[in-house]
Amino acid sequence: PDHIRIRAERYLDNVRRQAEKFSISVPLAFAVIHTESYFNPKATSPVPAYGLMQLVPKSGAWDAYKYVYGYGKELPPDYLYDSDNNIELGCAYLGLIKNRYFRKVRHADNALYCAIASYNTGAGNLSRALCGNKQLGCAVDKVNSMKPDELYVYLRKNLHHQETRDYLKRVSERMKLYKEWE
């Protein structure tokens, strides 16, 4: 709907800048924001996760901050409610997952599916769904043995949490809504 697009356009320049900085696609960043918060910068989940990209202070936000600034820090909600901070750290976290944790994944679509699922459930849990343990090397080997459509179907069936199975589908589909902003 148009109201979602209007809300999304508010963040276009910042998302483009951060997506480029962390080597992720603009449609991926927008699809994650759409799915996580529907572009509500004050969104809060029971976890608790905060802001546009629903960052958790003790996990994703910590890891992203360390990736960007060289040291981990537990950030207060007000920091994560700031849309510029949230987009920076959310894009950084996606970049960390895709370009560091899963850098040895050979097919771009497979790396994308790993990044989407891991953003929601964590890279260790993704690895557990693939290998039965949290060893990323094993997960990468298994991912590299599959074609993208095979991996997508496998993850939609075998990720441990229904929420993550649905999340993978929603984010993948919503990326198409933002393709023209690439």
Task: Evaluate whether 86 touches 51 at the Cβ level (below 8 Å).
Answer: yes
Structural domain for 102, as ranges: 2-181
Residue 73, pLDDT score: 94
* Threshold 0.85, pTM exceeds: yes
State how far the Cα of 23 lies from the Cα of 138, in Å rounded to an integer: 24
The two three-digit tokens of residue 89, written as one number: 């750290």
Number of domains within the chain? 1
- Please provide the average confidence, as pLDDT, over all residues in the chain: 97
Q: For residue 2, name the pLDDT band (cuts at 50, 70, 90).
A: confident
Distance in Å from the first CA to the final CA of the chain: 19
With a cut of 70, say whether residue 139 has pLDDT above it.
yes
Rounded distance between C-alpha atoms, residue 182 and residue 173, angstroms: 15
4-13 own/partner pairs: CB under 8 Å, 24+ apart = 4/34, 4/38, 4/39, 5/177, 7/38, 7/39, 8/33, 8/34, 8/39, 8/178, 10/39, 11/39, 11/52, 11/83, 11/87, 12/181
**Mean per-residue pLDDT, 150-176:** 98
Amino acid at 52: L
CATH number, domain containing residue 69: 1.10.530.10
The distance between the two most distant Cα atoms of the chain, rounded to a whole number of Å, is: 43
Residue 60 pLDDT greater than 90, yes or no: yes
Q: Report how far residue 118's alpha carbon sits from residue 12's, in angstroms, rounded to the nearest whole number.
A: 24
